[in-house]
Copies of this chain bind each other. A is one copy, B any other.
């Protein structure tokens, strides 16, 4: 391996990494914010980080690659990004499974009403030009007009540097931008443009940014990507270990998430024709590990008893302190967290629901962790269940994120299954919502037994379904998409081991729900509403969630799928100072129920792993 610098270009992102020859493709990709899915943490065992090398010199296939890739794939230039090393200039395609395209649309019209009162305020001002009889400084002149005169003032230095030219640029007609009482920008009135903000949901697996025009409150662009930290492993524990055990690991993880946010928000700004200096505020939600890693805070004590986070309070920071690109003086509001594993994402869910203004309500956010909030009418209880990344496609043999070609829904149509894919493209794999559906349908038809075993005999099953089943024991599987409707003719199956992963994941979440209900002294029947959050392609269908048992048995009408509720909470905090206050109050009011090492949880889990 020579030490010369080479360039690796990634498509369709169209970005080029500069690195030392011999760099793993996954590492080169991460260095420029291109996320490649690698749930095994780069060990070469999951085979999910497939990329295609279009041209250029790369290393010979490793033993892992020879085992996981077909000869046709190798022939076509397909490689594992964690294994293949660039030896010279090369061009690499990352499109396909593990693509950067992830859907987390948020329909702001479907959200409850909240007032538009962003922290960013704009004031158009006509100042009196100075003269010998009025030698007030440029800033004081502005200040007096803002009606905030006084001895002391708060202004961002960068807003002052060009102030003389700005004031004199349009005859002392200016637009001033304030963050609370801090002056962050002054522009000539004739060229000023609307201020923007971004609500960012940092998930363990995916990161999504909503770009909002703060004058209208409308989302003008949504961008999502895989969290580039996934290359160190799919779950939060692998990230925490990386931060703790690898020298410089914390800085590396922070750099990855910051780089991904910058890339996302930059793309969103480009989409609407705006620039970084129009972006004045970001709000961020994420679980506690993501929260700490974004802030560069040592996360190790979250993961060991007594599970103590560094900081739980809401934080307002300069974007520049985090390396996040925004207007000079632009700020980041990080929603508060509740406890070690109940993060700002849960606070976002509770805020989006305004949960304590309702009757008894259960909110469940299904992701790599299952975040659970229960408002009993008197107490607000929270917990986090480590569901693992199964519902986001990891550990599922043909699992994938909600990208085009993902099977996103499975329904029973007469005697057979019917599937639909995102964008109607040929099926490439299965995403979260379809796992719920498929499990529910298979249970309903008897193809899946309550103990989680796929029926060994096809007797009595609908003929269409029995025709889809094949294999024995752990090799038994259900065909979801046959080769004629699948991408590249590779059929998509749901396997017996996949079902086991689903059982573990749904069991963990459901056990958490049961513990909270017991702690609050209420039963599922007492619940007025069950809010089902989780940002999969075509949201989870409530009936499937109840049927497969991740939720307790309640009337279908009481279950409401609310999409990316954590992201909605971030959006509300961005657009409304009173919603921000609500988030802070809810975080203080919430009581954390520790599930780890909780005997009641262990007991419940033994039961909830099974189906009903």
Contact = CB atoms under 8 A, between A and B. Distances in A.
A296 B161 contact: yes
Given A157-B295, A321-B157, A301 B164 contact: yes
A249 to B, nearest CB: 14
Contacts of A315: 153, 155, 157
B296 A157 contact: yes
Interface string A231-255: 0000000000000000000000000
A535 to B, nearest CB: 27
A333 to B, nearest CB: 10
A147 interface: no
A298 interface: yes
Contact of A310 (B164, B295, B336): B164
A131 interface: yes
Contacts of A295: 157, 160-161
A167 B314 CA distance: 21
Nearest to A131: B306
A285 to B, nearest CB: 17
B584 A298 contact: no
A312 B136 contact: yes
A369 interface: no
Contacts of A143: 313
A110 interface: no
A11 to B, nearest CB: 36
Interface in A123-179: 130-132, 134-140, 143, 151-153, 155, 157, 160-165
A164 B240 CA distance: 14
Interface in A272-315: 295-298, 300-301, 305-315
B314 A160 contact: no
Contact of A151 (B161, B305, B339, B584): B584
Given A162-B298, A295-B160, A297-B160, A310 B138 contact: yes
Nearest to A168: B301
A560 to B, nearest CB: 29
B307 A340 contact: no
B306 A139 contact: no
Contacts of A309: 137-138
A543 B274 CA distance: 67
Contacts of A311: 137-140, 155, 160, 163
A163 B130 contact: no
A568 to B, nearest CB: 21
Contacts of A337: 137
A143 B310 CA distance: 12
Interface string A314-331: 111100011000000000
A585 interface: yes
A140 B155 CA distance: 29
Interface string A555-591: 0000000000000000000000000000011011000
A218 interface: no
A437 interface: no
B157 A313 contact: no
Most buried by B among A140, A310, A584, A585: A310
A144 to B, nearest CB: 11
Contact of A132 (B162, B305, B310): B305
A122 interface: no
A490 interface: no
A291 to B, nearest CB: 11
Given A296-B157, A312-B137, A132 B306 contact: yes
A498 interface: no
Interface in A75-90: none
Contacts of A161: 295-298
**Best-buried of A135, A298, A588 by chain B (most CB within 10 Å):** A135
A501 interface: no
A500 interface: no
Interface in A48-66: none
A134 B340 CA distance: 12
A541 interface: no
A600 to B, nearest CB: 14
Contacts of A300: 164
B297 A152 contact: no
A310 B160 contact: yes
Contacts of A453: none
Given A130-B308, A161-B296, A164-B301, 12 more contacts: A132-B306, A132-B307, A137-B312, A137-B313, A139-B310, A151-B313, A153-B313, A157-B315, A157-B321, A160-B297, A164-B310, A165-B298
Interface of A: 130-132, 134-140, 143, 151-153, 155, 157, 160-165, 295-298, 300-301, 305-317, 321-322, 336-337, 339-340, 584-585, 587-588, 592, 594
14 contacts: A132-B306, A132-B307, A137-B312, A138-B301, A138-B309, A139-B313, A151-B313, A152-B584, A157-B296, A157-B315, A157-B317, A161-B295, A164-B308, A165-B298
